[in-house]
Structure 1
Amino acid sequence: MSQIPVPPPNWWSRNWKWFVPTLVVTGMALIAAFVLAIMSFVFGMMKSSEPYQTGLSRARADAAVVAALGEPITPGYFVQGNIDGSAASGEANLAIPLKGSRGAATLYVEANKRAGEWQYETLVVALDGGQRIDLRDKDDDAGEFGR
């Protein structure tokens, strides 16, 4: 009587030891890439907003800020806060980290948009030493909105 030959192992039993870790690492990499893409999109939207651009340009143009931080003044990647609104109205509350050759600071921007125009309630650079530099113009007074 002849013995029945043992069938060769199937693909899964031969390859599971490398396939499972590869699948887990690939899944984690895809999730991390998705989260990174969402964060980049959100930060990109915040950085392209008018309150962000106005605050950054005023900080770079202000002599006291340049003297305290040095040049070039570069914004940090992680902007904190929120921007809500539409074409006619909205609100922005941002904390933008700034770094220069001599130091670091945080730019605070609080603005309200009425009739399509941004009015800045707060536009202040807070230096690491505690000093605050107000960047608002006289025209930026938000008192007309009932503050």
Structure 2
Amino acid sequence: MNNQLIIEQNWWKRNWKWFLPTLLFSILTGLFLALSINGNATDIAQAYSDNSLYEKTIEKARSNERVLEIIGDIKPIDKLAFIEGDAIYSNNNSSVALSLRIEGSKRKGKIDIIADKNGTKWEYKKINIRIKNPKEEIQILKDSIEVH
């Protein structure tokens, strides 16, 4: 028998062929997910931090008879609704198109908000609630209003 010493290569030399492509794929996937979470992640965070933007629209929707009949009493919007939703700011962050999931005591839906900010006031151009089954759209706002 031959009594030779077997010298093992270090971890990097043994594994670089699969490690580099895996690392590159992970970085690219992470970048893609960070930039495509239903739009821009910074817009979603900005919409979440501006409570007056969506709380006033929920108050307005709660006073609509058709919403109460179809959806029931609307629960407060949770954090997950923003991750699932879509927010797009434009005009130097003074205009927004926001779509969020809402949940009522009877069923779920989506609220669509289009608004422009004038100083500290939001002027709402459109507030609609969409329901899937049966497919219906409830128009909450027909004319634009300003809310402090």
- Between the aligned partners of 1:120 and 1:70, the Cα distance in structure 2 is 23
Q: Which residue of 2 aligns with 1:54?
A: 56
Q: Which is further off, 113-122 or 71-80?
A: 71-80
Structural RMSD (CA): 4.2
Determine the structure 2 residue equivalent to 1:10. Answer: 9
Distance 1:68 1:135 in 2: 17
- The gaps in structure 2 that reach 5 residues or longer are none
Contact 1:43 1:78 in 2 (8 A): no
Q: Distance in 2 between matches of 1:44 and 1:139?
A: 25
1:84 is matched with which residue: 90, 100, 107?
Answer: 90
Alpha-carbon separation, structure 2, partners of 1:66 and 1:22: 56
Q: Give the C-alpha shift of residue 126 in structure 1.
A: 2.5
Partner residue of 2:114?
110
Tell me the residue number matched to 1:145.
Answer: none
For structure 1, the residue ranges without an aligned partner over 5 or more in a row are: 142-147
Counterpart of 1:53 in structure 2: which amino acid?
E
Q: Which has the larger radius of gyration?
A: 1
Identity of aligned residues (%): 13
Matching of residues 30-69 of structure 1 within 5 Å: 31-32=29-30, 35-36=33-34, 39=37, 41-49=42-50, 50-60=52-62, 62=64, 64-69=66-71
Amino acid at match of 1:90: S
* Residue 41 of structure 1, CA deviation: 4.9
Stretches of 4+ aligned residues off by more than 6 angstroms: none
